[in-house]
Structure 1
Amino acid sequence: MKRFLVATVVGALILGVTAAGASNAGQLDRPRQPNPMVVTDIQIPVKGQAPVTAYLVRPAHVDRSEKLAGALYLHWFAPPNSTQNRTEFLAEAIALAGRGAVAILPQLTFPWEGDPIGDNSDRAKVTNQLAAVEAAYQALLRQDGVDPRRTAVIGHDYGAMYGSMLKSRAHALVFMAGDATWANWFDKYWLGLPADQAVAYRKVFTGLDPIDTVGRVKRVYFQWAGRDIFVSPEIRAAFSTANPKATVSLYETAEHFFNQQAKDDRLAWLTDQLDLR
């Protein structure tokens, strides 16, 4: 099990937050000393499957009386981008931990390590990946000091889709640029099915699509990118209909990877929802 401190990185992130909120230059010269974060490489057991590889991020020093929030970060699919894995949100998780949270960032495997093939086995693969994500969330709840009433799931792209479907409901969900159905992206970017087969394939995922489950989550923050070539305005509208009470941000000039403003807004929303300092 690998562990390493990230005091320097956290210090830089905290200084960035301080700078953004400072009212005069003198405040920038006196950043508070951060509590170093510990990043641990862990393995999470999953019944009937290989263990999940994940990062565990938490403050190095915590008062035993202090309750911590919990965050599960689920990454995007974007080959060959170097961030299409559990590293995507690592810096953000470190920043959130610096405000009083524990984060787990699992490595997802479908469709990262295997292509859809266009039949009922794809539903089983989604279900298995969902079980692994559920195991990661349960591992988060078992972490020392984590308050189960103050947890959030943050997902991007396929990560958002999996995050919206957890049976164990977190307190809050950040849904970043995911699709409404599994069949749409699987068909469009892998299978290229004829129209009649495409209709049948969509039925494979009946009751398992994110658009069917996101309405059950009470506190949702949808983040959409205005220049996203993968998510259409119609998909955005469908999610708003599915959960009309959700908070929504549209970043008109952002592409599918989003931008710094989206990250800042996400951290601010999570800070409020999880009652962080």
Structure 2
Amino acid sequence: MRRLSALLSTALLLVTGALAGAAGASAKAPAEAAPPVTGHGDPVLVRDIEIPVPGQPAVRAYLVRPQRPGSGLAGVLNLHWFEPGRASQDRTEFLAEATALAGRGVVSLLPQLTFPWAGDPVGDARDRATVTAQLDAVQRAYRRLLAEPGVVPTRTAVVGHDYGAMYAAGLAAREPGLRTAVLLAPDATWANWFDLYWLQLPEGEKAAYRKVFAGLDPVDLVGRLGSGAYLQFAEADRFVGAQTRAAFSAAAPEARVSLYPGEEHDLGATRVRDDRLAWLAGRLGLRG
């Protein structure tokens, strides 16, 4: 825990510098954190950038990378969770991890997601369109990661939590070259949480609403990753229960699955993070 606190402090210092720089910079000139901070491994650079998305507002994201130019770098796209009232339910969620991984030769991109963070489901086909638009933005962020100097496309991964994990499954289905994904506490379908926490549809309308997302539900997409999927679940999760976990296990029999006794939906324990980083290190061939 002490090491994690130090990483968090470093990450927050870097972001403060990045945001301060951004206040005086134009949208076309992303800010850089200055000076880079040297911690474990090489000096780390954090930039606050904007990623253009056709037909949508630009996506704000943190780009975290080793300061030293180089080749043969791995890449990780981090997609955050949704939990109103929690400070970590935005692009800062995985910032400490990204800072640590930069010292091991990893470039990370952490985009800000917007649905349902900045808009509510409405209960019809417009929700599928909005999910698809968010996936378009996520895919643009992934392509921006691939374009970062030194990143090797075959050494990339996506890490997502909650709704972020659901979008991660959708991204992996769109990008055949993306073969590594860590999914923390995803729901199996888009309709379930939208209905349960926003819509409360009449019983006779629930089945039709589920059909709105046919072919787009995470549980129907995760199997494409085969052994490249790692599912992390919390045993005491009040949002993701045994039935959902079983649905994912059936849909992705080759995936690695971890269930953490006593953990809740935030999956914030050090052991969860350490398991995730160790698995990524093996999949991406990380040093250190």
Determine the C-alpha separation between the residues in 2 that align with 1:201 and 1:275. 42
1:223/1:249 contact within 8 Å kept: yes
Task: Could you tell me which runs of 5 or more consecutive residues in structure 2 were left unpaired when the two chains were aligned.
Answer: 1-29
Q: CA deviation at 1:171?
A: 2.5
Partner of 1:68: 73
Query: Is 1:235–2:244 an aligned residue pair?
Result: yes
Partner of 1:146: 151
1:5/1:36 contact within 8 Å kept: no
Partner of 2:231: 222
Determine the C-alpha separation between the residues in 2 that align with 1:6 and 1:134. 31
Determine the C-alpha separation between the residues in 2 that align with 1:133 and 1:73. 10
2:36/2:67 contact within 8 Å kept: no
Deviating beyond 2 angstroms after TM superposition, the runs of 4 or more aligned structure 1 residues are: 5-8
Corresponding residue SS for 2:33: strand
2:83/2:89 contact within 8 Å kept: yes
What's the Cα RMSD here?
1.1
Determine the C-alpha separation between the residues in 2 that align with 1:68 and 1:122. 37
Query: Is 1:4–2:33 an aligned residue pair?
Result: yes
1:6/1:37 contact within 8 Å kept: no
TM-score, normalized by length of structure 1?
0.89
Q: CA deviation at 1:62?
A: 3.0
String of CA shifts for 1:184-241, please: whole Å, max 9, x gaps.
0000000111111111110111111001111111300000001100001010011011
Determine the C-alpha separation between the residues in 1 that align with 2:107 and 2:45. 10
Partner of 1:54: 61
Query: Is 1:264–2:274 an aligned residue pair?
Result: yes
Q: CA deviation at 1:255?
A: 0.6
Q: 1:173 to 1:265 in 2, by over 3 A?
A: same
Q: CA deviation at 1:5?
A: 4.7
Partner of 1:17: none
Query: Is 1:202–2:172 an aligned residue pair?
Result: no
Q: 1:92 to 1:227 in 2, by over 3 A?
A: same
Partner of 2:109: 104
Q: 1:215 to 1:119 in 2, by over 3 A?
A: same
Partner of 2:50: 43
Determine the C-alpha separation between the residues in 2 that align with 1:5 and 1:172. 32
1:140/1:146 contact within 8 Å kept: yes
Query: How many corresponding residue pairs?
Result: 253
Match of 2:200 among 182, 189, 192: 192
Q: CA deviation at 1:6?
A: 7.5
Q: CA deviation at 1:135?
A: 0.3
Determine the C-alpha separation between the residues in 2 that align with 1:62 and 1:233. 46
1:84-95 aligned at under 5 Å gives the runs 84-95=89-100
Corresponding residue SS for 2:58: strand
Corresponding residue SS for 1:165: helix
1:225/1:255 contact within 8 Å kept: yes
Q: 1:6 to 1:247 in 2, by over 3 A?
A: farther
Determine the C-alpha separation between the residues in 2 that align with 1:152 and 1:100. 14
String of CA shifts for 1:222-275, please: whole Å, max 9, x gaps.
000011000010100110111101011110111111111000100100011000
Name which of structure 1's ranges 168-177 and 124-133 shifts more when overlaid on structure 2: 168-177
Determine the C-alpha separation between the residues in 1 that align with 2:75 and 2:65. 9
Determine the C-alpha separation between the residues in 2 that align with 1:186 and 1:96. 34
What percent identity do the matched residue pairs reach? 57
Name which of structure 1's ranges 167-176 and 75-84 shifts more when overlaid on structure 2: 167-176
Task: Could you tell me which runs of 5 or more consecutive residues in structure 1 were left unpaired when the two chains were aligned.
Answer: 15-33
1:233 aligned partner, one-letter code: A
Q: CA deviation at 1:168?
A: 1.0
